[in-house]
Structure 1
Amino acid sequence: MKLFLLIILTFLIAANANPISRKCTCKAVSNTIHFSFHSWDISSCKFCSCKDAAMTNCEQACKTMVESYANTGCGKVIKGSKVKYSWEASTCSSGVSSVEYTCA
């Protein structure tokens, strides 16, 4: 029985449905081909569900990060470039925004 549980847990982790450790990651991507300009690890949690604040607020936190990134010039990106935010909250949610931000 213990071996069976170990096999199931290994399968879940290998299938990227890691119930032990979840992460919220964020990227500033180009508005056309979604090429990544910059990325951030925003939060993580151990043994948490998709209802944990670190996962439910992932998109909003990413939006705020990319908005600030654009307002401060997007690093070495050409002025006037447009970026979107892309987020992934482990297996809980992910996506690319439809909102575009212009690099200052």
Structure 2
Amino acid sequence: MKPASHHLATCKYCRASIVWCLTSANGRRQPVNYEPDETGNVAVMQGADGKLYVRAVTAARPEIRPGEWQAKPHQATCPARKLPGRSSGSGQRPTSGVRPVPWQR
């Protein structure tokens, strides 16, 4: 099962098709890939209010219930987005082009 086309959105980093879901744990928004994926670790369903809800597929609850489809969170597959906590440099910002100005009173 796929989400309805009116839920379709586009990732601003890689232009991939995604849907925005609310997490069942805390109600935060989470981007999920639009295409269902049998290797995904989340289950998505449409609630009675028409919104999409997502829950984690865990060892305690591995089954996909009727009305749900399995997918991957978009953060796991987005090729253009850097993950937080990963830096590509020494950790210091470059200061080229900055001229110190004396303090004036």
Q: TM-score, normalised by structure 1?
A: 0.20
Higher relative strand content: 1
Higher-RCO chain (CA-CA 8 Å, sequence separation at least 6): 1
Q: TM-score, normalised by structure 2?
A: 0.20
